[in-house]
Homo-oligomer: A and B are copies of this chain.
Amino acid sequence: MAPAMRNTDLNNDLGPIVQKTMADVVEIRLREYLKEKSFKPGDPLPKEMEMAQSLGVSRNVVREALSRLRMLGMVETKKKRGMVLARPDILSSFERVLDPLIIGDSTLRDIFELRLTLEVGLADLLYLRKTKKDVEELEQIARNQKVTSGRQTFRIKNEIAFHGKIYQMTGNETLQRFQSMLLPVFGYLVSLEKVPIIGKVSHLDLVEILKHGSKEEFRQGMLKHLEHHFAKLK
């Protein structure tokens, strides 16, 4: 693990030689500018032409940079009105690049581990915010699975529903959205398995713990539920 680590540091320190285009530079400059001047959401930004002239580049280049910030939701534009700083949705940018087919294998494994880590760590939030209604709904999902344990595709869908419901119960919207966009990654990795392996602790067991057990018991239960996944990590 150490060599990989050193490599990362090296990448940070020495980075590859990349020929920055004007749009790259302008994007950075604009970002710095917004920070320095401590723009807040809603504040009006300079016009495209003003930027172009100040920076000494064509309006074309400025627009390419602005197009990037617009994509991230950092700025919004209206004709005649100009542009204003906006609150970016931090996860939408994430979503765009999270495709199991184009991200590398090592990153894929990293994300898989990240998800397992989250599931085990969720207990505290869960016990802080779970409601009786939530637990009942969760139980319904778990029972639903028990009945229709036949088809493989349905099994996966139900798996998603169950764990998704748990994230929802944390009351943390960002966490919930985060997990929902991690699902394809998770599904992709599970689909690579030849034989579906079932943990020692079932969904219904977890529901039972949620009803009458403690945080620690739930953590242990979730751990056992995901055990076979952890076992695959080397």
CB of A88 closer than 8 Å to a CB of B: yes
Contacts of A35 in B (CB 8 A): 99, 101
Nearest B-chain residue to A78, judged by Cβ = B19
Query: What interface size band does chain A fall in?
Result: 35 or more
Whether, in the assembled complex, A163 has its beta carbon less than 8 Å from a beta carbon of chain B, the answer is no
A152 at the interface (CB under 8 A from B): no
- Tell me whether A102 and B122 are in contact (CB under 8 A): no
Please tell me how many copies of the chain the complex holds. Answer: 2
* Residue pair A124, B129 in contact (C-beta under 8 Å): no
Among A111-119, A142-150, A154-162, A198-206, the stretch that binds chain B is A111-119
**Contact: B107 with A174, CB < 8 Å?**
yes
B110 touches A175 (CB 8 A): yes
What distance in Å separates the Cβ of A1 from its nearest Cβ neighbour in chain B? Answer: 5
Is A191 part of the contact surface with B, judged by Cβ < 8 Å?
Answer: no
A64 CB–B CB distance under 8 Å: yes
Q: Which residues of chain B are near A175, meaning CB under 8 Å? A: 110, 113-114, 117
Given the contacts A121-B118, A172-B113, A93 and B102 also touching, CB distance less than 8 Å = no
List chain B residues, Cβ under 8 A from A103: 87-88, 90
Are A97 and B72 in touch, CB under 8 angstroms? yes
Given the interface contacts A88-B102, A97-B72, A174-B107, does A124 sit within 8 Å of B114 by beta carbon? no
| Cβ contact within 8 Å between A173 and B68 | no
- Asked if A44 lies at the interface with its beta carbon under 8 angstroms from chain B, I say no
Rounded to whole angstroms, the CA-CA distance of A85 and B170 in the bound complex is 37
CA distance A99 to B23 in the complex (A): 21
Give CA–CA (A102, B84) in the complex, Å: 12
A151 contacts chain B at the CB level, 8 A cutoff: no
Binary interface encoding of chain A residues 92-108 relative to chain B, with 1 for a CB under 8 A from any of its CBs, else 0: 01101111011110110
Interface set of A (CB-CB < 8 Å, partner B): 1, 4-5, 8, 23-24, 27, 31, 35, 38, 40-41, 60, 63-65, 67-68, 71-74, 85, 87-90, 93-94, 96-99, 101-104, 106-107, 110-111, 113-114, 116-125, 128-129, 131, 168, 170-175, 178, 216, 219-220, 223, 230, 233
